[in-house]
Each structure stands twice: as C-alpha cells, then as structure tokens.
Amino acid sequence: MLSLKHDYIIIYVDKITRFFYGTGMEKNVAEKDVYYKITWSKQYECNRHVISGIPVLPGIVDLYQENKGVITPLLFYACWKSGIRIGIRNLLDPNFSLFPELIKLSEDKNLLFRYSVIDTHFLDMKDILYWLIREYSPELNNAREFKDSERYKDIYLKEIYENA
C-alpha cells in the first residue's frame, strides 16, 4: 500500500517533468478501463545534432514525415530502459543507429519526431504504444503483432500537442 507521502512524491516528480520538458502522462482507471493523457513535445527535425537537448527519461518517440501539411506516421518507438535521448540516437545517428533504413529515409525525406515522457510503468508505456500503433498504423510498426498489457478491457488516449 502506498503512503500519502509516496503519492505526493510521485505527483511532485511528474509536475517537475512537465515543467522542465513540457511533456508527461496522466492515468485514470475506471472499473476495467484505463484513460491516459499524454503531452507530446514540440516537433524536431531528424538529425543527430538535436539529441543533446532531449531528456534522458523513459518515453515514446513518434517518428513521422510531413509533406505539404500531410503527416505520414513512420514509427512509434518505446524507450524504457535507455531513455528518449539514447532511443533517438539509436534511431537517427549514423554512428549508432540500430535501423540503417531510417538513416537512408532521413537523408531522402523530411523526417520529424516528437516525444512524450512516460515514466510511470513499462506496462503503461506498452498500453499507450498499443493504442498509438492501432490508431495511426505507422509504416514500420506491425499492428497485428503488437499486444497491449492485457490489464484493462479498453484503452483510451487523449493526446496534447505542444505548439512550439
């Protein structure tokens, strides 16, 4: 059982995360359903020079292409253990990338990314990722193979976008 003091610390840390990074997550459970609210960071161009300003916290990266106002989702990527900064480096830095096909794409197309800090539990991240992949069908994620945590009957997600 969590003490009130412990709950206060979690809420305080979440408020600090949102203050410094403008991102974060809220979660409400109602019976067998869960309601998440995430805040996305501003959008960044995909290049290795922006990595230093990205937080070293767990979260989800949204990699997409924008062409004349039309957004094409490419990949949702979970960064639990390594954090968002290392996750983006693993995606986009030619010296470290685990996905060479993304390096080629980033050279040929106008790729952008944004992130959201999800630092509560890896199963929350899995549920949010499941919802995002099902909703947007990004080219590089396989919606048929990705499963949720199976803790809830239905998963709902509200997304907030930073305008900077």
* pTM metric for this prediction: 0.81
Q: Which CATH architecture has domain 4-161?
A: 3-Layer(aba) Sandwich (3.40)
Strands 111-117 and 70-79: unpaired
pLDDT, residue 147, reads 95
Give yes or no for residue 68 having a pLDDT over 60.
Answer: yes
pLDDT digits (tens, 9 = 90+) for 110-162: 789 999 999 899 999 999 999 999 999 999 899 899 999 999 999 999 999 97
At residue 73 the predicted structure's pLDDT band, cuts being 50, 70 and 90, is very high
Edge-to-edge strand list for the sheet holding 33-40: 24-30, 33-40, 154-161
Q: 49 vs 24, 29, 67, 70, 74, CA distance in Å? A: 24, 39, 22, 25, 21
Q: Which of 83, 105, 81, 80 is nearest to 92 (CA)?
A: 105
Domain residue ranges of the chain, discontinuous segments joined by + = 4-161
